[in-house]
Amino acid sequence: MSEKLKFTFFAVILIVFSVVSGAGAADVPNLKVGYIFTTHHTPLMVAAQKGEAFKSMGVYLRPVVPKDKYELVANGKPIAVFQLIVAKSGAETSALFARNQLDLAMASVTAIMAGVDKGTRMKIVAPLQTEGMGLVAPKDSRLSDWNSFLGYVKNAKQPVKIGYHSPTSAPKIVLEGALRQAGIKVTEDPNDQSAQVLLADLKETTNIIPALASKQVEAIVGPSPFPEVAVSRGVGKIIVNLRDLPPSGYWHDFPCCVSVASDQAISKYPEVVEKFVELVSKTNAWCNKNRLEAGTLTADWIGLPADAAKASMLVFLPKFTQSWMQNADKYMGVLNGMGNFTGRLKGKTINEAKPLLFDMQFIDKVK
């Protein structure tokens, strides 16, 4: 065969291969999937790293570009390509949904509630976890528990400044609710000197530990792993896990993060959403049974001290539970009581808001 014929032959082969590959890729939708660098989103990071080890689940992720792009494989064939998007907070995640820049995501339930209230077309499709929220003071602080903290707040000559990472984050909402129940006047206005606590928006999770270390704030409230990282780095100490705030038992098993899908993704790609929910649900169960390995994988992914990731007390949920719904209803009451809802969720209970907030069809199919 002449050199010219060889060149022509290989050129034809390459063209045919590219056409076939292109046709296959065109059949598989590309979806943008958002998450945050927090242990609350451990299941997505675990599924990405375990890959084909989860093949027996019937659904798993196959890496295209590690930490960036993955095929969602169900029943042995790819059904979607996931482009992972790292958000700074649940509020940013909600904003990305509002701009049609996300199809699927994980974020705090309170951030999603706030977005739905404003009219963003998205639905909670699966629970993720409960617990994993803490109030942290500097390591050298004399504060040791909730009672000593309240005593300090009541005797302070000016508002005690507490930093949070997102205005719609679950830790911030829980803390504010507990403070108000304790009769503490709370503000976000730095000019309001009549308040006892000033809540300061630090904009994203990466800012909360530096703000504590630099004494920019007197305490921080946030999700795991940041309280544990503050302890691990010798910067802070956990005054109280938010689940233990009074009244006794009231804040136990409070929802934090959830899995979410845009209304458009649900409409256009129901099979993909169904299998995403199945993957999350089954990985949640795996994480509960394999806490040490799940913590190690998350630490490796985020770049955390291994002891900090392993110290978190998260409980991952394969399904919605009665207590989850009851506590989500408490969120609705707290947020309505603080005047946070002004739109679609104003004055509503969780049952009244279900058609606006949830699409249960996918989680109900998971066995």
Q: Which of 244, 269, 284 is the last residue of a domain?
A: 244
In a domain, 355, yes or no: yes
Residue 24 is classified by DSSP as: H
Do 59 and 117 share a structural domain?
yes
- Residues 286-296 have pLDDT tens digits of 999 999 999 99
In a domain, 10, yes or no: no
The whole-angstrom distance between residue 180's C-alpha and the CA centroid of its chain comes to: 25
Q: Which pair of structure tokens corresponds to residue 135?
A: 């109030």
Q: Which of 244, 274, 295 is the last residue of a domain?
A: 244
In a domain, 6, yes or no: no
Q: Which domain CATH number covers 118? A: 3.40.190.10
Do 104 and 89 share a structural domain?
yes
Angle at 43 (CA atoms; ends 41, 48), nearest 5 degrees: 110
- Got the DSSP string for 239-292? EEEGGGPSSTTTTTT-B-EEEEEEHHHHHH-HHHHHHHHHHHHHHHHHHHH-HH
Is the Cα dihedral 136, 137, 143, 148 positive or negative? negative
- Predicted local confidence at residue 14, as pLDDT: 45
- Residues 169-191 have pLDDT tens digits of 999 999 999 999 999 999 999 99
In a domain, 2, yes or no: no
208 residue type, one letter: I
Report phi then psi at 89, rounded to 5. -165, 170
Q: Which of 215, 244, 273 is the last residue of a domain?
A: 244
- Predicted local confidence at residue 20, as pLDDT: 41
Do 148 and 124 share a structural domain?
no
Q: What is the domain extent for residue 331? A: 24-131+254-365
Do 145 and 126 share a structural domain?
no
In a domain, 312, yes or no: yes
Do 266 and 121 share a structural domain?
yes
Do 331 and 275 share a structural domain?
yes
In a domain, 196, yes or no: yes
- Predicted local confidence at residue 110, as pLDDT: 94
Do 216 and 117 share a structural domain?
no
Calculate the alpha carbon distances from 250 to 146, 151, 181 in Å: 15, 21, 11
Cβ atoms < 10 Å from Cβ of 79: 19
Do 150 and 99 share a structural domain?
no
Do 113 and 47 share a structural domain?
yes
Q: How many domains does the chain have?
A: 2
In a domain, 238, yes or no: yes
Do 222 and 259 share a structural domain?
no
Q: Which residues in the chain show pLDDT less than 50?
A: 5-25
Do 187 and 87 share a structural domain?
no
Burial class (CB in 10 A: 0-12, 13-18, 19+), 331: buried
Do 355 and 267 share a structural domain?
yes
- Predicted local confidence at residue 311, as pLDDT: 67
In a domain, 287, yes or no: yes
- Predicted local confidence at residue 2, as pLDDT: 52
> What pTM was estimated for this model as a whole?
0.85
